[in-house]
Amino acid sequence: MDKNKVKEIIAKRVAQEMKDGDVINLGIGLPTLVANYISDDIDVILQSENGFVGIGPSPKEGEEDLDLTNAGGQLVTIKKGGAFFDSATSFGIIRGGHVNATVLGALQVDSKGNLANWMIPGKMVPGMGGAMDLVVGAKKVIVAMTHTAKGSPKILKECNLPLTAAGQVDLIVTEMGVMEVTDKGLLLKELGPGVTIEDIKAATEAELIISEDLKEMEI
Amino acid sequence: MDKNKVKEIIAKRVAQEMKDGDVINLGIGLPTLVANYISDDIDVILQSENGFVGIGPSPKEGEEDLDLTNAGGQLVTIKKGGAFFDSATSFGIIRGGHVNATVLGALQVDSKGNLANWMIPGKMVPGMGGAMDLVVGAKKVIVAMTHTAKGSPKILKECNLPLTAAGQVDLIVTEMGVMEVTDKGLLLKELGPGVTIEDIKAATEAELIISEDLKEMEI
Amino acid sequence: MNKLISIEEAVNHIEDGMTVMIGGFLAVGAPIRLIDALVEKGVKDLTLVVNDTAFIDTGVGKLIVNKQVKKVIASHIGTNKETGRQMNEGEIEVELVPQGTLTERMRAAGFGLGGILTPTGVNTMVEEGKKKIEVEGKEYLLELPLKADVALIKGAKVDKKGNILYNKTAQNFNPTMATAAGTVIVEADEVVEIGEIDPNVVMTPNIFVTYIVDGGAK
Amino acid sequence: MNKLISIEEAVNHIEDGMTVMIGGFLAVGAPIRLIDALVEKGVKDLTLVVNDTAFIDTGVGKLIVNKQVKKVIASHIGTNKETGRQMNEGEIEVELVPQGTLTERMRAAGFGLGGILTPTGVNTMVEEGKKKIEVEGKEYLLELPLKADVALIKGAKVDKKGNILYNKTAQNFNPTMATAAGTVIVEADEVVEIGEIDPNVVMTPNIFVTYIVDGGAK
């Protein structure tokens, strides 16, 4: 499947998780795309951990403000009714459970809801930034990612990279399906367009429990 | 001695402890009078623990603002260059050592620098308010009080009322003298106007070490 | 999401036995219309979390006089003789907390901390029943988070999304309480349209505010 | 008390081996003129406390490239490849701290707390060497205060007494760093007279600020 199509499927499906009044933090990269698909019928407030609520679209040419960026350093705007604050307040909001959901990518995620997305020992050590606080603090943690990396499963029996947080992931959304982390393991609730149970099992190291209400993603 | 004269002596002497640029918290009652005697040659910033720096004088009639009071609930003003903040910041300033000196009254103080000024069990239990934070957090703790209560010593070998804080008092200023809390006990450095060593010893339960440089208060 | 409700609707969110934080410092910055409505409604057995119990005829003091409170958590009760009387008679329970610790405990609850270490109260009655932890040779008390079911706060200017500006020393405990309760109701001296408050100077961001009532002071 | 000094005087307060906090988030809100002066002065063996090491040619990243830093305490170093290279080569020590923990540790230092309990980092590498404390059945890490000799911060508008207003997301770590260092130097986009900033909207009160430099951005 086309890479952009894959991202679109994932972002569209994640957007369906948002409810009116929700405060949402979208991670850098794919998760940022979710903003494009949130229904106009609901009021969702996007939080930027560098210090504001009410992220708006990219500025028009000539209206850029160098003092107004998102957590990825990109120039953005603030919506009417938004509010700026310092990092201490920003992470108070995050750690204190005032963010309804955070959407992040992952290097690995496992059947216990463990998440690894911040380093590969000896290779890539960029730092955790705000990810560890977000994953521990947000009420709901949604992992949004491509199902595999160069064909290798990323949804594992057990993560072997250093964890970002233990047992905090609630939902995994990929182009192949939607999986909920339950006490018994990963519950496959939806299949991606054209994906079979066999397809997704083959691409997943962790055991998948098939939901009785298994359906196809509506996107 | 006249009661007001006593208060004036104490307040004037305490005011001499202030230095240019100091941030000072003055307790309710006698300590508040200190503000009247701070030299015009220095810039001293008064902090009010209910939420601002830059306490000014009482408002003129007709210029009262019900949203602008000191920690005793009295209507005050704010000086040019002052700043308001919330209680969390206010006590951050206090606890964090950003207040150079706090001036408070005492029920009892002892030779170890222990202070009791917040309750008399079974009688008076108003609460500690901000006193415990102030005494622990301020760089210098100055007790400003009349030397005795109805003739009974208040400067004791050991406090017997519940403590506000242990070992935090640095200086005791009364109408009878100025005493510094040292590792060896209370060092009498100055005598009040007309007061003899015998007078002050008779009115003090704690041992007094007489300074080699003992002098009379200059007020 | 319409957050603007009537004072009557607002107090319906407060039920017997709840823990309620109420902003104000000696009644300055207290949501006095919400308090009056609470007195009128007569809910009882409240646990009040306040800086002080104000005065017998002003602010939260009225709730004490009206015997709606079973427990008070405060730093100071000395300005309201009725609180002391009820405490001495065993009619009310009082937990005294140093003022700086009180605000930090609320902040800890609001900001997801399991507790904070403070030097305040070490070697005093305040340390009773608390864990003492030594850090770099200095002793601290572990103080635990303090949260409420409902917080009633007062803002000077509030937009319809819930962004709050406070005025001068009427700020005090209000911003911290706004973080630490399940339901946060702000009494606004003035309600303004969304966009009328500069996002750069907002003191409490809208996401903390559940409901707004127009206090009608302006 | 004249707090307004030149950039040259300002950087004289920073000596080899000092711990220096520098505000900014990917260089947004960073005191870039002070950083440039620090690069020019060439002080070395600094311990930098920053959110991130920005970019090789912008913000604090220049100090890394110029090899003036022996240790970095940050939440993120991924945008500056030179930091990673020096770390892998053993030329620099890097302590990675979750962003929320980083700001709380500074605040604890500035506000006199002996530490804070955070759930962030439990059961990850971050918990190594730290005390774990259980509160009401949940595990927390005890994170300790983090202070600096000097903090270099950036304000949008600063009055001559030192009251600061920040602008939008250029706020970030600046207000907290202002509380946590022995000497606090603010680079002002614009210096204004005392009285020109409304005391009600001051973001960092003057008492935290030691020196002001006019960054001349406005």
CATH number of the domain within which C94 lies: 3.40.1080.10
Measured in degrees and rounded to the nearest 5, phi and psi for residue A71 equal -70, -10
- Do D169 and A49 make contact, defined as CB atoms within 8 angstroms? no
Which residue of chain B comes nearest to D180, CA vs CA? B96
Which residue of chain D comes nearest to A135, CA vs CA? D120
C119-167, pLDDT tens digit by residue? 999 999 999 999 999 999 999 999 999 999 999 999 999 999 999 999 9
- Do B73 and C120 make contact, defined as CB atoms within 8 angstroms? no
pLDDT tens string for chain D (218 positions)? 799 999 999 999 999 999 999 999 999 999 999 999 999 999 999 999 999 999 999 999 999 999 999 999 999 999 999 999 999 999 999 999 999 999 999 999 999 999 999 999 999 999 999 999 999 999 999 999 999 999 999 999 999 999 999 999 999 999 999 999 999 999 999 999 999 999 999 999 999 999 999 998 77
Residues of B in contact with C156 (CB under 8 A): 67
Provide CB contacts within 8 A for B185, sequence distance 6+. Answer: B111, B206, B207, B208, B209
Provide CB contacts within 8 A for A30, sequence distance 6+. Answer: A7, A10, A11, A105, A144, A145, A146
- Report whether pLDDT(A154) > 90: yes
D137 domain-assigned = no
Q: The domain containing residue C60 runs over which residues?
A: 4-113+146-214
Pairing assessment for the beta strands D19-22 and D69-74 based on DSSP bridges: unpaired
| Mutate which: C120, C122, C141, C208, vs B, most B CBs within 10 A | C120
- Angstroms from B93 CA to nearest CA on chain D: 6
Mean pLDDT of chain B: 96
CA angle C109, C114, C117 (to 5 degrees): 100
C131 domain-assigned = no
Please name which of B173, B203, B216 lies closest in space to residue B30, comparing C-alpha atoms.
B173
Which residue of chain D comes nearest to B139, CA vs CA? D112
- Report whether pLDDT(C82) > 80: yes
Please name which of D188, D181, D140, D142 lies closest in space to residue D163, comparing C-alpha atoms.
D188
A122-154 per-residue burial string, b: 16 or more CB within 10 A, e: under 16: eeebbbbbbbbbbbbbbebbbbbbbbbeeeeeb
When pLDDT is averaged across residues C109-126 and rounded to a whole number, the result is 98
- Report whether pLDDT(A215) > 90: yes
Q: Return the pLDDT at C139.
A: 98
- Do D166 and A86 make contact, defined as CB atoms within 8 angstroms? yes
Provide CB contacts within 8 A for B176, sequence distance 6+. Answer: B147, B191, B192, B195, B199, B200, B203
What pLDDT band is residue C183 in, cutting at 50, 70 and 90?
very high
CA distance D163 to D207: 8
Residue C140 identity: Y
CA distance A76 to C28: 39
Q: Return the pLDDT at A1.
A: 78
Option in C110, C159, C208 nearest A81 (CB): C159
Q: Return the pLDDT at C1.
A: 74
- Joined together, the tokens standing for residue D151 give 């903090």
Q: Return the pLDDT at C216.
A: 85
C204 domain-assigned = yes
D131 domain-assigned = no
- Do D117 and C112 make contact, defined as CB atoms within 8 angstroms? no
Q: Do the Cβ atoms of B13 and B178 come closer than 8 Å?
A: yes
CA distance D43 to D47: 11
When pLDDT is averaged across residues B83-95 and rounded to a whole number, the result is 98
- Do B80 and D208 make contact, defined as CB atoms within 8 angstroms? no
* C58–chain B Cβ distance below 8 A for any pair: no
Which residue has 């400067």 as its token pair? B155
Please report which helix (H) or strand (E) contains residue A212, including its range. strand A208-216
Q: Do the Cβ atoms of C90 and C157 come closer than 8 Å?
A: no
Q: What is the pTM of this model?
A: 0.98
CA dihedral C84, C90, C93, C97 (to 10 degrees): 50
| Mutate which: D146, D161, D184, vs B, most B CBs within 10 A | D161
Q: Return the pLDDT at B56.
A: 95
Option in A67, A86, A131 nearest D28 (CB): A67
- Do D117 and C113 make contact, defined as CB atoms within 8 angstroms? yes
Q: Return the pLDDT at C217.
A: 76
* C210–chain B Cβ distance below 8 A for any pair: no
Mean pLDDT of chain C: 97
Q: What residues 4-43 of chain C have any CB closer than 8 A to a CB of chain A?
A: none
When pLDDT is averaged across residues C10-34 and rounded to a whole number, the result is 98
A17-29, pLDDT tens digit by residue? 999 999 999 999 9
Left (φ > 0), alpha (ψ -120 to 50) or beta: where does D116 sit?
beta
- Joined together, the tokens standing for residue B143 give 């007790």
- Joined together, the tokens standing for residue C41 give 């409604």
Architecture of the CATH domain B3-216: 3-Layer(aba) Sandwich (3.40)
Option in D104, D117, D199 nearest C115 (CB): D117
CA distance C82 to C88: 10
Please name which of B150, B160, B81 lies closest in space to residue B121, comparing C-alpha atoms.
B160
B24-64, pLDDT tens digit by residue? 999 999 999 999 999 999 999 999 999 999 999 999 999 99
- Do D113 and B95 make contact, defined as CB atoms within 8 angstroms? yes
When pLDDT is averaged across residues C12-41 and rounded to a whole number, the result is 98
- Report whether pLDDT(B73) > 80: yes
Q: What residues 86-125 of chain D have any CB closer than 8 A to a CB of chain B?
A: 107, 109-113
SS3 D179: coil
Pairing assessment for the beta strands C19-22 and C46-49 based on DSSP bridges: parallel
SS3 C12: coil
- Joined together, the tokens standing for residue D35 give 């950083």
Residue D89 identity: E
Write the burial class of residue B91 (CB in 10 Å: 0-12 exposed, 13-18 middle, 19+ buried).
buried
- Whether B218 sits among the annotated catalytic residues: the reply is no
* C170–chain B Cβ distance below 8 A for any pair: yes
Helix ranges, chain A (H): 3-15, 30-33, 87-95, 131-137, 197-202
- Do C176 and B85 make contact, defined as CB atoms within 8 angstroms? no
Q: Return the pLDDT at D212.
A: 98
A161-203, pLDDT tens digit by residue? 999 999 999 999 999 999 999 999 999 999 999 999 999 999 9
- Joined together, the tokens standing for residue C39 give 């007195």
CA distance B211 to A126: 61
Question: Has the ipTM of the complex gone over 0.90?
Answer: yes
Residues of B in contact with D113 (CB under 8 A): 95
Share of chain D above pLDDT 70, in %: 100
Option in C107, C169, C176 nearest B84 (CB): C169
CA distance A11 to D79: 25
Give the sign of the dihedral formed by CA B172, CA B174, CA B179, CA B183: negative
Indicate contact of B with A: 3+ CB pairs under 8 A. Answer: no
CA distance B205 to B198: 12
Which residue of chain D comes nearest to C118, CA vs CA? D113
- Joined together, the tokens standing for residue C79 give 């300005």
Q: Do the Cβ atoms of D207 and B53 come closer than 8 Å?
A: yes
Residue B137 identity: G
CA distance C32 to C54: 11
- Chain C touching partners, 3 or more CB pairs below 8 A: A, B, D
When pLDDT is averaged across residues B74-94 and rounded to a whole number, the result is 97
Which residue of chain A comes nearest to D27, CA vs CA? A73
CA distance C95 to B122: 15
- Do C116 and D119 make contact, defined as CB atoms within 8 angstroms? no
Q: Do the Cβ atoms of C172 and B51 come closer than 8 Å?
A: yes
What are the CB-based long-range contacts (under 8 Å, 24+) for B201-209? B203/B147, B203/B148, B203/B153, B203/B176, B204/B147, B204/B153, B204/B155, B205/B153, B205/B155, B205/B156, B205/B157, B206/B110, B206/B111, B206/B153, B206/B155, B206/B156, B206/B157, B207/B111, B207/B157, B208/B179, B209/B182, B209/B184, B209/B185
Q: Return the pLDDT at B1.
A: 78
- Do C113 and D140 make contact, defined as CB atoms within 8 angstroms? yes
CA distance D3 to D159: 10
Helix ranges, B51-207 (H): 87-95, 131-137, 197-202
Indicate contact of D with C: 3+ CB pairs under 8 A. Answer: yes
- Overall number of domains in chain D: 1
When pLDDT is averaged across residues A54-66 and rounded to a whole number, the result is 95
Mean pLDDT of chain D: 97
Indicate contact of C with B: 3+ CB pairs under 8 A. Answer: yes
